[in-house]
Structure 1
Amino acid sequence: MLEKELIAAARRGNAAEISALLQRGATADARDDTGATALLVATHENNIEAARVLIEAGANVNAKDHIEDSPYLYAGARGHLEILKMTLAHGADLKSTNRYGGTALIPAAERGHVQSVKTLIEVGVAVDHVNRLGWTALLEAIILGSGGDKHTEIIRLLIDAGADVNLGDSEGATPLAHARRRGFGKIERLLAAAGAH
């Protein structure tokens, strides 16, 4: 019962209630029916203080639910920067992957979360990791991105971090080819300047 209350408090973002429940013996890594821990539930809602209390109580930042999301991976993918930074400070597994076989960096790049991308690059997440779709963060930011300022900045960050600008998708199409196909002129110029062909 305490576990159910803890999950509910995490969903509402009630940090004081979470503290009280933990003191009463609730397990920090209590899970709901989807396999999500209280911390992942708090992360879904971007409830920063709730996440902080749970992490400080020892909640596992790498615990995955039934669809392979963990607090660390979800925070990265959704641009929940404060929670992402907390997970990184508390043992986030930089090599862990989501259900697509991608690191946190790939969906962060795709969704245009500039600060999350910057943070993940700084802590050393592999920039050229290839997911099950055959895409790197660079490819995904072009293929699924908007071509706007945020995605252009992300491409620049990835290039500066040493991303392989000629690493193509599973069919061999390069980032430059994808950028051209989508008419992303700024991204095309950035890639060309970095030696893309």
Structure 2
Amino acid sequence: MNQRKRKKLSQHLFVAVLMGDTIRVKALLRAGADPNRADSEGTTPLYVASVNGEAEIARLLLAAGASPDTESSGLGSEGTPLCAAACWGHTETVRELLARGADPNLREDHGTGRSPINWAIDGPHPETVALLTTAGATPAGTT
């Protein structure tokens, strides 16, 4: 597949993820959309799915090879997928990310920012905190 077509598929993937269109996401991934390709601002599809609590779409992206720990840098979309999901208490999405290898202690801002559990504690999202704790997460500043 040529670079132009793959880029176009990836752009369509972003729209499908934003709309929560699981069927379209499946079709685009099968057609060759890159699950790791960030948009022009640096936001990844997995970050978008995670911040919106789209656990099934996150699972599809991860199964297609999306990296669970890639940090987004888009305006208003900075951070890791796990931090995004934990911030909003999207427990099912957190569960998917952890099951696919997301680091429960990876801090945002290239290791200098907040951790997923810090976001969940501040939520407050006790169910998400419990899930992260079981996965070995510790609040930033206590390691």
Q: Which has the higher strand share?
A: 2
Counterpart CA distance in 2 for 1:103 and 1:70 is 9
Counterpart CA distance in 2 for 1:20 and 1:65 is 24
Counterpart CA distance in 2 for 1:123 and 1:60 is 18
Aligned residues: 131
Q: Deviations over 1:129-168 (max 9, x none)?
A: 31xxxxx6xxxxxxxxxxxxxxxxxxxxxxxxxxxxxxxx
Q: Which residue of 1 aligns with 2:98?
A: 88
For CA contacts below 8 A with separation 6 or more, give which structure has more relative contact order: 2
State the AA in 2 paired with 1:71.
P
| Aligned counterparts, 1:12-23, within 5 A | 12-23=19-30
Contact 2:83 2:119 in 1 (8 A): no
Cα deviation for residue 109 of structure 1 reads 0.5
TM-score, structure 2 as length reference = 0.83
Structure 1: segments with no counterpart, 5+ residues: 131-135, 137-197
Q: Deviations over 1:65-108 (max 9, x none)?
A: 11641111211122111010000011111231123622111111
Cα deviation for residue 113 of structure 1 reads 0.4
Report the structure number with the largest CA radius of gyration.
1
Cα deviation for residue 45 of structure 1 reads 1.8
Counterpart CA distance in 2 for 1:45 and 1:122 is 23
Verify: 1:120 aligned to 2:127, yes or no: no
Structure 2: segments with no counterpart, 5+ residues: 1-7
State the AA in 2 paired with 1:119.
L
Verify: 1:10 aligned to 2:10, yes or no: no
RMSD: 1.8
Counterpart CA distance in 1 for 2:13 and 2:130 is 32
Verify: 1:72 aligned to 2:82, yes or no: yes
Q: Which residue of 2 aligns with 1:33?
A: 40
Cα deviation for residue 116 of structure 1 reads 0.6
Counterpart CA distance in 2 for 1:82 and 1:51 is 10
Q: Which residue of 1 aligns with 2:5?
A: none
Contact 2:52 2:85 in 1 (8 A): no
- 1:59 alignment partner, SS class: coil
- 2:106 alignment partner, SS class: coil
